[in-house]
Structure 1
Amino acid sequence: MRVFNCDHCGHLVFFDSVRCLHCGSELAFLPDQMSMAALTPAPQDGPDLWRRRGRRGTSEYSGRLYRMCRHHTNLQACNFAVPANDFADLCVSCRQTRVLPDLSDASNLRRWKQVEAAKRQLFYTLARLGLEPVPGTAGPVFEFLADLPGGPPVITGHLGGTITLNVAEADDEERARRRIALGEPYRTLIGHLRHESGHFYWDQLVRDGGQLEGFRAVFGDERADYGAALNAHYARGMDLGDWAARHVSAYAASHPWEDWAETWAHYLHMIDLLETAASYQTGVTVPDPNSPARHHVTDPFAVPRPLFQDMVRQWVPLTLMLNSLNRSLGQDDAYPFALSSGAMVKLRFVHDLVQAQFQRRAPQGGSQG
């Protein structure tokens, strides 16, 4: 996730910021422009409308008008803005959520806000990759639910374009309990959403994109009995065999669908972390084991078609540095993975599909990186 600067004063701000701490400007993310903006009220143009502020010392304002997402106005739960000519009261991210938990419960409200924040981060990365939003196409829809007393537990998963997530995953203690019980090295809200979005985009890019033959050659045949495969996976307990030679995680070894979803999530991890590192290139360099020179991390979105080998060359030393920083503070590794050559082949498959989709949706005549 890149960092941003306040339109008005130029001070550093972040993707989830709602106010510039330096100049006091109201801030909102503009999905139609994929940028953070300092806004000023425009009551002369209509109730609850805002304009983009100009640089300090100027009187220039953008002609484009916005309103704040209703979840910001009513619940302080969103920092996305809606173009004034879009008559929806929810932003493009919030309107993807079809079912909410009971928000009169303060715990559910807190959890839901955390889940929506992770979903906006997912939205940003997918939009930057050209996967959404695209006029005339639909992204996934979401149902965020809480367990009810005496009822069946809410199971996180994907079915037919709908991603369901149990909001209990927003509680650190509960998430840690489940991670330990399942023998997982990593479990986060953004990781869940990236994984489940992988199932959605498997339908879009592989099944409906004419890529089944290539997918099966790399990941295996998804027609294998899914339920039986998962039962066998959990029956093995911690004795999961030599999964690391071909997969990004132990769970990826359970079935080709889960292999794809885990690999997809990992690819989004790579994209987001590389973009974050590139945003902070103010003299910080990452040692490149393949070169005697020190290597600057570059933004994976800086060119229309980032080369996968360039991403990998930056990824390995970057994650080593990330883990070393965590260890210096007495924390566990932030990136508890080691990618094998077999896993890299699968990540490359995901990369090529995403980049092909990006090129199909990009304006014709643009430069090719």
Structure 2
Amino acid sequence: MKLFQCSNCDNLVYFENISCEKCGNNLGYLYEGEEIISFPANSFPVANPVNKEQTLIYCTNHKLDACNWLVSSESENEYCEACSTNHMIPDLSFPENRLDWQKIEAAKRRLFYSLHKLKLPIKFTFNDIPFNLTFDFLASDPNEPNAVKTGHYNGLITLNIQEANAAHREYVKEKLSERYRTLLGHFRHEVGHFYWDVLIKNNPNNLREFRVLFGDDSEDYSEALQKHYKNGAPDNWRENYISSYATMHAWEDWAETWAHYLHLMDMLETSFNFGLRLDPEISKVPNLRVACDFDPYDGADMSKIIKHYLPLTYSINSLNRSMGHTDAYPFILSEPVIEKLSFIHKVVRL
């Protein structure tokens, strides 16, 4: 992600900030301009620096402490681009639901930032039928805690809001022997299923190449799921897959790899904006010396992206271990995985 500053005092601010700690101004994110706008409290509507004929107000979910994005004051839709995709949210009369939902919305906005950088639309039409990205954020019945399953179906992504609870998420992570489990990771994985339908399923050329790399998508998904949870992943899965779950079915291999594609693009853009350079005090390992001097969203090829990404993962994992944390990126990018990432990079840019 790019870096942001308060446009009033130049203080460094985060993407999620709603106010500047230095000057006290309110902050709002303008999706179309990819920038944070600073303005005095109670000064609505504020000028739109991208479209001078418009003025801006907060998305209506700002009232619920769930959004800091700005929308046109003249728009009939009072929700921003991200919040407009919500089909269902949990009952906010329960304080724990409201807190979980706020965390979910924060992660979803980071997803939408990446989709916008990749110029990926969220609305499509196939055979005169609309196919739109939408979300259900649901709470499980306490008596049936596993009733709500996170998943995707025909453009609708369902997320169990318990995933916003760090203790629950860590419990599931350990139970399933996962090495990584985050809210943002969930969003990136599930939206991968949506873009498989958009970019692969409806494109015969892409579908042929997909099957060479990822396998047969026509295999029975339910049977593959049962087999995976009964037998687990093959012992040598790291040779060809980004995760053990990716071995379950071609669709899941795509979604897992898609999520990692978004991981690496976001990490590299952040590194570029920080001007990171790696020149480690270690001999005979020249491939660790890199300068993140390019924006990965500006057309860089995958070989260049991977060349810079791998040293970054080693450095960030080393920093995490220095703080007593587990690896931030506990994965290995084998050559077959890199080939799959390259395919995703290609179809996204077509």
TM-score (norm 2): 0.91
In the alignment, what sits opposite 1:343?
337
Say which of 234, 253, 260 aligns to 1:266: 260
**Against the structure 1 CA distance between its residues 332 and 5, is the aligned structure 2 distance closer, same or farther, given a 3 Å change threshold?**
same
Distance 1:124 1:219 in 2: 27
Equivalent pairs counted in the alignment come to 340
- Is the partner of 1:235 in helix, strand or coil? helix
In the alignment, what sits opposite 2:73?
84
Deviation by residue 1:8-63 (Cα, 9 ceiling, x = unmatched): 222211111111112222110001212111134686xxxx422358xxxxxxx965
Say which of 312, 327, 333 aligns to 1:318: 312
**Against the structure 1 CA distance between its residues 309 and 228, is the aligned structure 2 distance closer, same or farther, given a 3 Å change threshold?**
same
Following superposition, the deviation at residue 295 of structure 1 comes to: 2.0
Question: Does 150-159 or 336-345 show the bigger shift?
Answer: 150-159
Distance 1:133 1:295 in 2: 35
- Structure 1 residue runs without a partner (length 5+): 54-60, 357-369
Q: CA RMSD in A?
A: 2.3
In the alignment, what sits opposite 2:98?
109
In the alignment, what sits opposite 2:223?
228
Distance 2:84 2:246 in 1: 31
In the alignment, what sits opposite 1:146?
139
Say which of 91, 99, 118 aligns to 2:88: 99
**Against the structure 1 CA distance between its residues 254 and 200, is the aligned structure 2 distance closer, same or farther, given a 3 Å change threshold?**
same
- Map 1:190-229 → 2, pairs under 5 A: 190-210=184-204, 211-229=206-224
Deviation by residue 1:211-240 (Cα, 9 ceiling, x = unmatched): 211111111110011111111111014x63
Amino acid at match of 1:325: L
- Map 1:158-177 → 2, pairs under 5 A: 158-177=152-171
**Is the contact made by 1:4 and 1:12 (CA closer than 8 Å) also made in structure 2?**
yes
**Is the contact made by 2:71 and 2:79 (CA closer than 8 Å) also made in structure 1?**
yes
**Is the contact made by 2:214 and 2:250 (CA closer than 8 Å) also made in structure 1?**
yes
Amino acid at match of 1:24: G
Deviation by residue 1:100-149 (Cα, 9 ceiling, x = unmatched): 11110000000000001000000000111000367988641000000013
Distance 2:14 2:131 in 1: 27
Following superposition, the deviation at residue 163 of structure 1 comes to: 0.2
In the alignment, what sits opposite 1:120?
109
Percent identity, please.
Answer: 39
Distance 2:221 2:347 in 1: 24
Deviation by residue 1:233-269 (Cα, 9 ceiling, x = unmatched): 11014x6321111111000011000000000000000
In the alignment, what sits opposite 1:15?
15
Distance 2:340 2:288 in 1: 29
TM-score (norm 1): 0.87
In the alignment, what sits opposite 1:25?
25
Distance 1:41 1:64 in 2: 19
In the alignment, what sits opposite 2:34?
34
**Is the contact made by 1:67 and 1:83 (CA closer than 8 Å) also made in structure 2?**
yes
Is 1:157–2:151 an aligned residue pair?
A: yes
Say which of 45, 49, 59 aligns to 1:49: 45
- Map 1:277-296 → 2, pairs under 5 A: 277-281=271-275, 284-287=276-279, 291=286, 294-296=289-291
Distance 1:293 1:184 in 2: 28
Deviation by residue 1:194-223 (Cα, 9 ceiling, x = unmatched): 000000000000011332111111111100
**Is the contact made by 2:16 and 2:68 (CA closer than 8 Å) also made in structure 1?**
yes
- Is the partner of 1:36 in helix, strand or coil? strand
- Is the partner of 2:187 in helix, strand or coil? helix
**Is the contact made by 1:40 and 1:52 (CA closer than 8 Å) also made in structure 2?**
no
**Against the structure 1 CA distance between its residues 290 and 82, is the aligned structure 2 distance closer, same or farther, given a 3 Å change threshold?**
farther
- Structure 2 residue runs without a partner (length 5+): none
